[in-house]
């Protein structure tokens, strides 16, 4: 219906393609229902940005995005 979805928890990670020890958590917080803000730590190279939204401990959304950070 195009309405924001309230009461979601967000978990974001910049995943290194070859070394899990180099994965970086991206702190994020909810500004308003369905609107989030995050600031990524300084990294470079190829990564997979993983975004997971959950409600009451159950994952309701997962997005995997391959990116290149200059």
At residue 20, the 3 state secondary structure works out as helix
pLDDT, tens digit (0-9, with 9 covering 90-100), for 1-18: 788 888 899 999 999 999
Helix, strand, coil fractions of the chain, as percent rounded to 5: 5, 60, 35
CA distance 70 to 65: 16
Provide the pLDDT for residue 30.
87
Q: 45-55 and 9-15: which strand pairing?
A: antiparallel
* pLDDT tens track for 29-68: 888 888 899 998 889 999 999 999 999 999 999 999 999 9
28 pLDDT higher than 90: yes
**Model pLDDT, residue 9:** 92
Under 8 Å between Cβ of 43 and 60: no
Distance of CA 46 to the CA centre of its chain: 16
pLDDT of residue 33: 85
């Amino acid at each position: 219906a195009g309405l924001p979805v309230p009461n979601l928890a967000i978990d974001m990670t910049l995943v290194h393609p070859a070394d899990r020890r180099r994965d970086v958590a991206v702190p994020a917080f909810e500004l308003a229902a369905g609107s989030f803000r995050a600031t990524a730590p300084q990294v470079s190279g190829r990564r997979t940005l993983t975004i997971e939204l959950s409600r009451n401990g159950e994952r309701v959304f997962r997005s995997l995005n391959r990116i290149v950070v200059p």
